[in-house]
A and B are shown apart, each in its own frame.
Chain A
C-alpha cells in the first residue's frame, strides 16, 4: 500500500503571553491510499490543527508533514477540504459553486467537460433542482452537500473533513454519512475525518486515531473490523457496541484530564 500522507514526529506550539502553548505533540502516523482515517478526541484538543497542517494552513513547529513523500508547502487542489462552516460562496449559484474549481488555472476544464462534471455532482448530491439557486435558499445539509460536490469536482486524491456534519441535525447527519459512504464507493478517495462523534468515526472509518487532551498526542490507533460497503445495520452488531464503549472510555478519560487542566486561555483547536 502506498503512503499518501505521513505525520513524522509532528509538534506544533504557540508563543502566548502566558508562555508556550503546546497544541500538538510528537504525533506520528501514516495514512495509506484508500484509508478512511477518523481522528477523534475531546473538543479543543488540537485535532483540527493536525488536519490544518496537512491541508497546508499551518506549519509544524518541529517534525514533518508529508504528502506523497513531499513536505506540505501550502494548500492545493490535490487535497480537498470540507470545512465545518461549509464555506459555500454565497455570491455564486449552486452550479457556479461546483464549477468554481474547474474555472481555475490549476484544474481548468473546457465548458462542455465542466458542465458534465457539474451535472454529475448535482445529481449525485441531489441538488439538481437547485442548480441555479443561491446558497441563501439552501438548508444546512444542502450547503454541506454543495461543499462536498465542489471539493469533489476538482478530483482531489485526498479529502480532509473537519467535523463536516457537526452543525447538522441528527437525521440530516445520518443521511449525509450514508451519502458519503455511497459516494466513496464509486469515487474511491483517501479521507481524513475530524470528528467528536464516536459512532460517526466507527461507522465511516477504516482506522480511528484517538488523540489526548491538549497537547494532542496519539492515545491509540484502532482498526475498525468492518468491510465496505457498509450500511446502518453494522451499528446493531456487538462488535460495534464493544468498539464504541472502548473508544468512549478513552475519550471520556481524556475529557476528564482536560477538565482537570483547564486553563483560562482558550484557543481554537
Chain B
C-alpha cells in the first residue's frame, strides 16, 4: 500500500475509534446503568465466543445468502420493469401510482400476510427481501432511464444504427450506471429489512440471532449481531463501489 492509501485508511479509521471511545465514555459516565451497555471488549469477546462455539459463521452465511438472493432476484425483475417504465412515458403514467403505493408499505407490515401465503420457510424470507429490493431498485432504474438524453440515439441513427444496434450499443451502456446504483440502493434496503424477514421463525441468521437474544436479554449478543450486519453491508457496498468504478471509468464523477 502506498502513502496516500495508508493515509486514507487512517482517516477512515478515525470515526470508528471515536465511536468506540464514545461507547466507553457513555458506559463510564454513570448516566446509564452499566449492565445495559456491554463494553466494546466484552462484545468483542462474545463475538469470538459465538464465532468459535456457536457457529456465528452459519448465521452470517444464512443472512448473507438471503440478502444476496433477495437482491439478485429483486434487481433481475426491477431492471427490465424500471427500464420499460423509464423508457415509455405512457407506461409510467400508468404504473407510477401503483409502484409508489407498494413502495410506501413497510415490509414488516406485510409479514403476517406473507406467512399466510408463503408459510414460514426460506421462501417467506425471500419474498420479503425480494419485495424490498424490487421496489427500491425499480424507482432508481426508471428515474435514471427517463433521464437518458435522446441525443446519443439520434447520433447513432445518423451513423446508420438500426433499432437492435441502438439498444445494444447505446442504450445498454447508458443503462449500466443506473443498474449499479439500483443494486447499491437495493442492497442497503435489503440489509435493513433482514431482521424483519428473519422475524418469521428463522432458525439461523443474524436477525434470528438478535431476536432470540432479545428473548433472553443477551445484550452483548444483540450488539454482536448489529455490528455484524453493519460490517457485512459495508463490505458489500465497498465491493460494489470498486466494481462500479471499474465499469464506469468513463464517467466524469469519481465514485470510489
A: residues with CB less than 8 A from B are 55-57, 74-77, 79-81, 83, 85, 87, 89-92, 100-101, 103-107, 134-136, 150-151, 154
Q: CB-CB < 8 A to A90: which residues of B? A: 250-252
Is the Cβ of A91 less than 8 Å from the Cβ of B250? yes
Is the Cβ of A77 less than 8 Å from the Cβ of B158? yes
Is the Cβ of B174 less than 8 Å from the Cβ of A101? no
Q: CB-CB < 8 A to A87: which residues of B? A: 151-152, 154-155
Is the Cβ of B165 less than 8 Å from the Cβ of A105? yes
Q: CB-CB < 8 A to B170: which residues of A? A: 89
Contact string against A for B residues 151-179, beta-carbon threshold 8 Å, 1 for contact and 0 otherwise: 11011111111100100011001100000
Q: CB-CB < 8 A to B169: which residues of A? A: 100, 103-104
Is the Cβ of A76 less than 8 Å from the Cβ of B154? no
- Contact count A vs B, C-beta below 8 Å: 69
**Residue from A57, A91, A105, A107 within 8 A of B173 (CB atoms):** A91
Is the Cβ of A154 less than 8 Å from the Cβ of B160? yes
User: In the complex, which residue of chain B has the Cβ closest to the Cβ of A154?
Assistant: B159
Contact string against A for B residues 232-256, beta-carbon threshold 8 Å, 1 for contact and 0 otherwise: 0000000000000000011110000
Interface majority SS on B: helix, strand, loop or mixed? Answer: helix
Q: CB-CB < 8 A to B249: which residues of A? A: 134
B202 vs chain A, min Cβ distance (A): 43
User: In the complex, which residue of chain A has the Cβ closest to the Cβ of B166?
Assistant: A104
How distant is the Cα of A96 from the Cα of B181 in the complex, in angstroms?
26
Is the Cβ of A136 less than 8 Å from the Cβ of B250? yes
Q: CB-CB < 8 A to A150: which residues of B? A: 159
A92 touching B158 in the complex, CB below 8 Å, given contacts A85-B151, A87-B151: no
User: In the complex, which residue of chain B has the Cβ closest to the Cβ of A79?
Assistant: B158
B: residues with CB less than 8 A from A are 151-152, 154-162, 165, 169-170, 173-174, 249-252
15 A-B residue pairings within 8 Å (CB atoms): A57-B154, A74-B157, A76-B158, A79-B158, A83-B155, A89-B155, A89-B173, A90-B250, A90-B251, A90-B252, A101-B159, A103-B169, A104-B161, A106-B159, A106-B160
B122 vs chain A, min Cβ distance (A): 39
A151 vs chain B, min Cβ distance (A): 7
Is the Cβ of A83 less than 8 Å from the Cβ of B161? no
B177 vs chain A, min Cβ distance (A): 9
Is the Cβ of A83 less than 8 Å from the Cβ of B159? no
B198 vs chain A, min Cβ distance (A): 40
A140 vs chain B, min Cβ distance (A): 14
B176 vs chain A, min Cβ distance (A): 8
**Residue from B161, B174, B251, B252 within 8 A of A106 (CB atoms):** B161
Q: CB-CB < 8 A to B251: which residues of A? A: 90, 136
How distant is the Cα of A148 from the Cα of B154 in the complex, in angstroms?
15
User: In the complex, which residue of chain A has the Cβ closest to the Cβ of B159?
Assistant: A101
How distant is the Cα of A74 from the Cα of B252 in the complex, in angstroms?
33
